[in-house]
Amino acid sequence: MPLPILADVWSRGLSSVPAGWTVVKIVPVIAVLYLLKWYFNGVSNTSERNMHSKVVMITGGTSGIGAEVAKELATRGAQIVLLTQQPLSDPFLVDYIMDMRTQTNNELITAEHVDLTSLHSIRLFATKWVDNAPPRRLDMIVLCANVRIPSGGKATTTEDGLELTWGLNYVANFHLLSILSPALRAQPPDRDVRIIFGTCSSYMGGKLPDFGPEAKSKSKKDVKPVTESIAFTPAGVYATSKLALMTFAIAFQKHLSSYSRPDKAPNNARVLLVDPGWTRTPGMRRYLTFGSLWGLALYLFMWPFWWLTLKGADQGAQTFLYAAMEAQYGKGEGGWFLKECRQYKYTRPEIEDEDVQKRLWEVSEITVQALEKESALRRAKEKKAEGKDKDKDKDKDKAKTGAPDGNGTPKQRKGK
């Protein structure tokens, strides 16, 4: 069949074939679009690992890249523990877990309620996890939770008074891992433990605050200038939070490696940092739409362009999966930075500066302690006020029903 058509084209020209010129014009366009999409999709993970019996804790695992990572690891047999902001009785969360169990044919998918914008909520969960004998199994922590305020957006704060981007992207991860570190160090020496941080190339534009002498002081007065020294711009705070997170990640690797195990075995917990690239996640969509309706209309109008140039969530998850399953990262000193399933060097010297790491850790520790004390006092006052309200309500009920007072004398009702 093709030979006669080619012979006809050779002898009579391309116009002899129906829609011949149209095909010639369309095919190159389709080929170029295919090559562009292939290029922007990035590299796919080719590493595999037996994930059966592995316990994986994931933040941000109900949407975007985190959901794809959780799904792929669950498909390979891992036991998934989702840290979610929603209550465990939330219908969306219940349906989501049931659907994931069905899709992955894996019943070992559970959730724990952890509000990463609340230091108290993080402590409640983490201390409950650590306070277990024998230590609970934990093979991997994947930190995908992330927030980015659109350009022109106003600063919002967490319930502890931290700017939301700084509080969730950095302080929440610092607080969670600081408490969970004993659980990581207590894992058997033959267990390959990995802590995977999600980051972004915008860290190159971050600027860590000038810690100054505050890092060496334990005074609450010295904490405020540190948190307030981060001038708010959506892009600037986001970049700084990622730079701080990466600096802390390397410090956390040193913290794990310096631990002297009772069995004298070498450290078996390793930190990896992953840049998934520009991906069509809910957070990216909010950023591109400026958090407005007219921005959403513009986003929909430009959808073909975003589809072409941005990765899908499944492609954004590929480097996370590579970090979780590549065999070479199960040994060595840790602290690797991965992008497009390849290892890269850090472009900011602060990340590997031991002095900066130490000061950042100390300041973060002081900040968390001060904020937790304030939170505890606030909860105590609220509980006390709530108790007084309940006592007043009881007194009113007794007065209405004529119940005996504290001396056993019935209270008289007033006549109308």
Q: Which residues form the catalytic set?
A: 242
User: Cα–Cα–Cα angle for 183, 78, 326, nearest 5°?
Assistant: 85
Q: Three-state DSSP class for 95?
A: helix
Across the beta sheet with 336-339, the strand order is 109-113, 79-84, 55-59, 140-143, 193-198, 269-275, 336-339, 342-344
Listing DSSP states for 223-265 in one string gives HHHHHHTS---HHHHHHHHHHHHHHHHHHHHHHHHT---TT-P
The number of helices, as runs of H, and strands, as runs of E, in the chain is: 15, 8
Point out which residues pair with 110 in neighbouring strands: 81
Query: Whose CA is closest to 359, among 371, 370, 367, 347?
Result: 367
Secondary structure percentages of the chain, helix, strand, coil, to 5: 55, 10, 35
In angstroms, rounded to a whole number, what is the distance separating the alpha carbons of residues 356 and 372?
24
